[in-house]
Every structure is written in structure tokens, then in C-alpha cells.
């Protein structure tokens, strides 16, 4: 039997708290899960530093990747199979793309990519196409198969329907993470009737569409997403942890560039510092390795690196105030001056962080292309863009919300053993008094 059609002698079942069970029958999927590159995702948290705000959020990307696979498997096998618009030959491609879509994520991706100017999507491509165990499994299916999978994940595939299952405004990725992140954090947001949405998904040539009767479930999904963004993903305490993490990496890089002699040499980071990251090096970088360095660096001479590492490890985070960078640039300048005067380096200790989200949008001429809108399949067979049918979605469509905060180490500002009056000035300016 062709490897692509090979089934396991007995179906494997993973107990999953979100979907109850994840079912694997295909040999190819089973083999992919067993690769070292996929197992590595167990050492990358799904929500980065969020566990410092919501202590339950310790789940990994391994967890989430299985979930996305399971959702797609159910769409394909339980809903699409047998419909004329769906070609069951694309089943395996779709499942593989779902399983592997996050393969290239680095440790604490958000800060990591920002500091080192990397893009996890490029690494996903590199792992699928490079000299890896994953590539070997995919190649066994067909020589051209890795490329096909990579293109679906990169959204460059011609098969727009398959792409839309993995990434669109209502894809398996989002449906899994909203529910999963809600489950592990324990928040009451993030719930919507996925069973219903799956039942009303229909394949069309260019995209997956939703039967009109499922509109309310989709509205609920969009609202869940909105709440999760502002209640969980953009939580100001999580952002404080990200700010510190960013500054740790920043400081280490700056020190390296200045020629600083590390007590504990940053072997794993060298290729990053030198802007020439080899795939092999990248794959060694997981969160365990990062935390190892952060522990070691607490014993470095450099007071800033040392302090920031300790803050991250012991969750001694920065405090924040609301801040409007457009209007308050003068204040920011004043604060920078005062921080310097107080001996607190503003480059590392006075940080503006901005979060922004667009809850739902449809394509508008002249805009960047990515926002494939959600289409409802009306009873008469027509497609209708969601916000034209739903009052609620219309009301929030295209409304971007942005939030800015200014982060700083409040404990230092209240430490009156030095620079007492400057610190008082700072506290007054920050409205802390």
C-alpha cells in the first residue's frame, strides 16, 4: 500500500482536554508526531509568558498543534467528505499542514522574533523543506509533498480552499487556540459552539464558507476572539513580562556587540547575535535552554542583565501607567532624562508597549490583502459577506482598537536609599503619588 494511504493497525487516540480525544489513523501523521522537530514543540509554551499572569497557561504548542490537526480532521472526514466541491485526495495535505503549521516557532516567540528580527513562518518553511526528520517523512509520501505542505502554510498554495481551513478569519488554528487558551487559563471567555460551526462549514472553490444558519455561532466566535485578545493575550501584566524578556535579550545582544566577557558564554545565542542563524542551531533553542541561560546570567557581572534575568525568573515585573505616545512625547522625554539622572537606564527600564487588534474585517480596496472575509452561504446559494448580514459584526467591523502603556520598575522608584528627590519627581510625573 502507498505510504500516503497507510493506516495504523489500531487507531491511536490522544486524550485531549479540549476536544476529548485526538484521533490518528494515518501512518504519515503518526510518523510526523514522532519526529524530533515536532516533539520539540513540547518545550515551547503556546502562550509564551502568559503563565506569569494566568498560572494555568503552561500548555505547549505541541498541545495546540494536535488540536488544530483534530479540528481539520473532523472537518475533512465528517463534514466535507463526499461533497462534490471537496477533493478527498487533498485530505492528507490538509492534515499535514494543520499539524505542522506552527513548527517553526521559537522560544517565547513574540519577544524573541522582535529582538532578533526573525519570522517563525520562515523557520516553519525551512524545517519542512530542510534536512529534517519531518522532511524525510513528507518526502516518503511524494518528492513534491514537502513543498505542497509548505505552500499551504505559507498561504502561497493555489489551493485556496485548503489554505482557508488553516488560515483565515475563521480557521482551525483560531478555533483551537481560543478554546484551548480559555481552558488552560480558566477564563470564561473563549467559548463558542464549535460543534455547530463545524457542522455548517461548506467547501467552495476558493474558501470554506458557513451556512447562513450558523451565523450566530460565528458571531459568538468573533466576540470570543475579541474578549480573549483584550482579556488574555494583551493582558497588561503579560505585556510587562514580555517587556522584561525583550530587554533581557536586548541587553545580552548589546553586551555581546560591545565585546563584554560573559561568565557563562551564550553559545546557543551566538548565531543569533551574528545574524546568521543555521536551522540546526535554531532547533536547539527551546524554552528550557532559554531559562537555563536566564538562571546562569543572574550571576553575571553586568548589573542590568543580572537584574532583568532575576526579575523574569522571580516574576518581579514592571508596573505600568496608561500612556499616549502621540500626545505625551514631551513627558516621555522628561522621564527619560529623569531616569538617567536617577541612574536607571531608560533604554531598559522605561518602555512603551502598544497592543492593537482588529476584531473582524472585510477587504477594502487599497488595503493589505490578508483579510479574507467570512462568507455566509445563503439559502438561495449565494455567498454574502458576514458583516452585511450580521448587525453585531457590522457594528465592530473594521474598528481597530489600540492600547498603549508605559512600563517601569516601581520598586526601584520607591527605593529611597538613593536619588530620593529625583525619584520623587519621577513618581509625581507618573502620577504615582
Q: Which residues bind its own copies (CB under 8 A)?
A: 13-18, 20-21, 34-36, 39, 42-43, 51, 54-56, 58-60, 62-63, 66, 183-189, 191-193, 195-196, 199, 216-217, 219-220, 223, 226-227, 230-231, 284, 286-292, 295, 310, 313-316, 391-392, 395-396, 399, 401
Q: How far is the CB of 290 from its own copies (least distance, A)?
A: 8
Residue whose C-alpha is closest to residue 314's, from 300, 299, 294: 294
Calculate Rg over the CA atoms of the chain: 24
Phi-psi region of 18 (alpha: psi -120 to 50; beta: other; left: phi over 0): alpha
Looking at the Cβ atoms of 54 and 339, the one nearer to its own copies is 54
Looking at the Cβ atoms of 336 and 396, the one nearer to its own copies is 396
Q: How far is the CB of 55 from its own copies (least distance, A)?
A: 5
Looking at the Cβ atoms of 16 and 334, the one nearer to its own copies is 16
Looking at the Cβ atoms of 144 and 186, the one nearer to its own copies is 186
Looking at the Cβ atoms of 116 and 226, the one nearer to its own copies is 226
Please state the separation of Cα 55 from the chain's center in Å.
18
Q: How far is the CB of 422 from its own copies (least distance, A)?
A: 26
What's the CA gap between 1 and 26, in Å, rounded? Answer: 12
Q: How far is the CB of 278 from its own copies (least distance, A)?
A: 15
Looking at the Cβ atoms of 161 and 194, the one nearer to its own copies is 194
What's the CA gap between 408 and 75, in Å, rounded? Answer: 47
Dihedrals phi, psi of 16, to nearest 5 degrees? -125, 130
Looking at the Cβ atoms of 59 and 419, the one nearer to its own copies is 59
Please state the separation of Cα 165 from the chain's center in Å.
17
- Which DSSP symbol is given to 45? B
Cβ distance 22 to 12 under 8 Å? no
The strand pairing partners of 352, in sequence order, are: 406
What's the CA gap between 90 and 149, in Å, rounded? Answer: 11
> Which 3 state secondary structure label does DSSP give 77?
helix
Q: How far is the CB of 179 from its own copies (least distance, A)?
A: 11
Q: How far is the CB of 252 from its own copies (least distance, A)?
A: 16
Looking at the Cβ atoms of 34 and 325, the one nearer to its own copies is 34
Find the DSSP H helices in 117-189.
120-129, 133-141, 145-154, 160-166, 172-185
Q: How far is the CB of 265 from its own copies (least distance, A)?
A: 12
Q: How far is the CB of 336 from its own copies (least distance, A)?
A: 26
Q: How far is the CB of 231 from its own copies (least distance, A)?
A: 5
Environment class of 272 (CB within 10 Å of its CB; exposed 0-12, middle 13-18, buried 19+): buried
Q: Cβ contacts of residue 170 below 8 Å, gap of 6+?
A: 197, 208, 210, 218, 221, 374
Looking at the Cβ atoms of 159 and 227, the one nearer to its own copies is 227
Amino acid at each position: 500500500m502507498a505510504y500516503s494511504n497507510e493506516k495504523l493497525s489500531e487507531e491511536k487516540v490522544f486524550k485531549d482536554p479540549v476536544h476529548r480525544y485526538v484521533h490518528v489513523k494515518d501512518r504519515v501523521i503518526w510518523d510526523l508526531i514522532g519526529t524530533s522537530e515536532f516533539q520539540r514543540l513540547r518545550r515551547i509554551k503556546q502562550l509564551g509568558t502568559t503563565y506569569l499572569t494566568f498560572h494555568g497557561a503552561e500548555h505547549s504548542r505541541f498541545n495546540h498543534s494536535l488540536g488544530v490537526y483534530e479540528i481539520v480532521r473532523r472537518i475533512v472526514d465528517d463534514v466535507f467528505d463526499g461533497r462534490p466541491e471537496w477533493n478527498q485526495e487533498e485530505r492528507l495535505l490538509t492534515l499535514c499542514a494543520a499539524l505542522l503549521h506552527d513548527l517553526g516557532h521559537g522560544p517565547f516567540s513574540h519577544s524573541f522574533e522582535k529582538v532578533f528580527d526573525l519570522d517563525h513562518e520562515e523557520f516553519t518553511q525551512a524545517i519542512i523543506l530542510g534536512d529534517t526528520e519531518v522532511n524525510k517523512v513528507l518526502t516518503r509520501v511524494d518528492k513534491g509533498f514537502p513543498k505542497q505542505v509548505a505552500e499551504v502554510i505559507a498561504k502561497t498554495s493555489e489551493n485556496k480552499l485548503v489554505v482557508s481551513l488553516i488560515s483565515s478569519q475563521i480557521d482551525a488554528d483560531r478555533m483551537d487556540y481560543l478554546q484551548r487558551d480559555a481552558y488552560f487559563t480558566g477564563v470564561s471567555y473563549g467559548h463558542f459552539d464549535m460543534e455547530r460551526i463545524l457542522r455548517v462549514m461548506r467547501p467552495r472553490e476558493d474558501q470554506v464558507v458557513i451556512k447562513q444558519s450558523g451565523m450566530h455561532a460565528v458571531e459568538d466566535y468573533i466576540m470570543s476572539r475579541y474578549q480573549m485578545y483584550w482579556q488574555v493575550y494583551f493582558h497588561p501584566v503579560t505585556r510587562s513580562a514580555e517587556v522584561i524578556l525583550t530587554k533581557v535579550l536586548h541587553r545580552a545582544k548589546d553586551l555581546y556587540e560591545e565585546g563584554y566577557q560573559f561568565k557563562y558564554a551564550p553559545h546557543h545565542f551566538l548565531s543569533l547575535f551574528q545574524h546568521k542563524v543555521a536551522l540546526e542551531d535554531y532547533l536547539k533553542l527551546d524554552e528550557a535552554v532559554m531559562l537555563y541561560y536566564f538562571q546562569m546570567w543572574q550571576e553575571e557581572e553586568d548589573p542590568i542583565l543580572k537584574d532583568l534575568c532575576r526579575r523574569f525568573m522571580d516574576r518581579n515585573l514592571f508596573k505600568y501607567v496608561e500612556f499616549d505616545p502621540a500626545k505625551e512625547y514631551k513627558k516621555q522625554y522628561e522621564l527619560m532624562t529623569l531616569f538617567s539622572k536617577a541612574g536607571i537606564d531608560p533604554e531598559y527600564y522605561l518602555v512603551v508597549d502598544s497592543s492593537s487588534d482588529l476584531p473582524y474585517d472585510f477587504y477594502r480596496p487599497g488595503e493589505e490583502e490578508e483579510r479574507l472575509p467570512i462568507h455566509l452561504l445563503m439559502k438561495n446559494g449565494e455567498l454574502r459577506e458576514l458583516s452585511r448580514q450580521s448587525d453585531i459584526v457590522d457594528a465592530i467591523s473594521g474598528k481597530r482598537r489600540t492600547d498603549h502603556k508605559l512600563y517601569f520598575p516601581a520598586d526601584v522608584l520607591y527605593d529611597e536609599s538613593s536619588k530620593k528627590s529625583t525619584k520623587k519627581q519621577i513618581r509625581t510625573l507618573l502620577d504615582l503619588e
